[in-house]
Every structure is written in C-alpha cells, then in structure tokens.
Amino acid sequence: MKKLKRNQLFILLTAVLLGFLIALQAQSFSGVSDVISRNSRADVFRELQILKNTNEELEDEIEELQTQLEKVSNNQEALASITEEIEKYRILTGRKEVSGSGISFKVEGEIKSIWLTDIVNELLSAGAEAVSVNSIRLTNKTIGFDTIPNGQILLNGVILSEPYTIEAIGDRKVLKEALSQPMGIIERMRQTIDGVVIELEEKDLVVMEKVV
C-alpha cells in the first residue's frame, strides 16, 4: 500500500515537473517568435525605406531627364529658327530658286524709275518673298533703279524696256490688295501718268531662277 502511494507520488511529481518544462519551453518559443516577428517587421521597414529611397532617386532622374528634354526641345527650336533664317537669306541673296503663288504687274507708258521703286517697296512691305522686274530678280545686292540720259531705266546694268513686268511671290491676295487699294500705287499712277496701261493679275505659280 505504501509502495503504491509512493509510486503515485512519483508519477505526480514527474507530471508536475514535465508540465513545468513544457510551460517553460512554450514561453521560450514565444520569445523566439517575438524576436522573429520583430526582425520581420524590421526587415519590412528596411524594405520600405529602400523603396522610398529608390522612388526618390527615380523622381530625381525623371526630373533630370525632363530638364534634358526641355533643353533638347529648345535646341531643336533654335535650330529650326536658324534654318528658317538661312532659307530666308538664301532667297534674299538669290542663291536659291524660288516658286509659289503671287502676282504679275505689267506697266506700259512713259514712267520714271521712282514709280518702279515705289511698286517694289509696296510689294516687299506687303510680305513678298521675292520680286523680279523684267525677269531680273532683285536681291540684297541690287542697288536700285537708275535713269540714263535718254530717259531709259537701268537695273543691274541692264536697260529695261516696255512693258515693265514686275512679278512677286507671296500671298497673292495680299499683294494684289497692296497695289490696288484706294489711293494706292495703281490709282496714283493712273492719275499722274498720261496714257499709262496697267495690268494686275493673280498667278498660281511664279518661278524665279537663282541668281548665278
């Protein structure tokens, strides 16, 4: 009987001890789990921080690329502007053949060179890209019209003869209106020059060869 009670007590103590060990192990595992959990949160924080830094770097890179793009666009605009100016200079100097719509202005009668000068100035003021008189293209080297002793008109060393035909390339309606407007050059010529004959027409195509 005593032996049975002793065995039961031993079993009880063993169970209590085993339970204590199990509880201790569970607590230890819980601590490890907390550490792992904290480490995991720390890793996530580091990952978030890395993503944040990466995003900031990407934003900086995008901003830099945008700046470079603006510079390239500005350079392209400047290049286009320079190219346009070069084309205008080539036309002005007669180094390039030019064609387009425009007008033809024909005059017959005893006129003085000043009238031709006024006609050309009116056309240029109205935006004419190129002007010619009796197929002689005017350029930046053209000095102007001269009158020789017998009353003939000289242009670039060439004596002009009637009819005087002035052609201009540009907006044909604008050019025509510039010459035919009330109290414009045509009306003044008709009021001033006896027997003058004037023809003005719009043309779909005017071609001017380059000056050699």
The answer on 105 and 88 residing in a single domain is: no
**The two structure tokens encoding residue 155:** 């242009």
Return the pLDDT at 47: 52
The answer on 142 and 193 residing in a single domain is: yes
Contact yes or no for 104/167 (Cβ under 8 A) = yes
* Helix, strand, coil percent values for the chain (each to nearest 5): 55, 20, 20
* Sign, CA torsion 145/148/151/153: negative
Instruction: Work out how many domains the chain is built from and give that number.
Output: 2
The answer on 151 and 194 residing in a single domain is: yes
Cβ neighbours for 164, distance < 8 A, ≥ 6 positions apart: 106, 107, 108, 111, 116, 133, 134, 153
pLDDT in tens, the chain (212 residues): 544 445 555 554 455 444 544 444 444 444 444 444 444 444 544 555 555 555 666 667 777 777 777 777 777 776 676 677 667 667 777 788 999 999 999 999 989 999 999 999 999 999 999 999 999 999 888 888 988 888 899 998 899 999 999 999 999 999 999 999 999 999 999 999 999 999 999 999 999 998 87
The answer on 102 and 80 residing in a single domain is: no
Nearest CA-CA partner of 189 in 109, 126, 123: 109
User: What domain range includes position 181?
Assistant: 98-208
Return the pLDDT at 101: 97
**Distance (Å, rounded) from C-alpha 136 to C-alpha 79?**
32
Return the pLDDT at 116: 94
> Which of these three, 92, 119, 140, is where a domain ends?
92
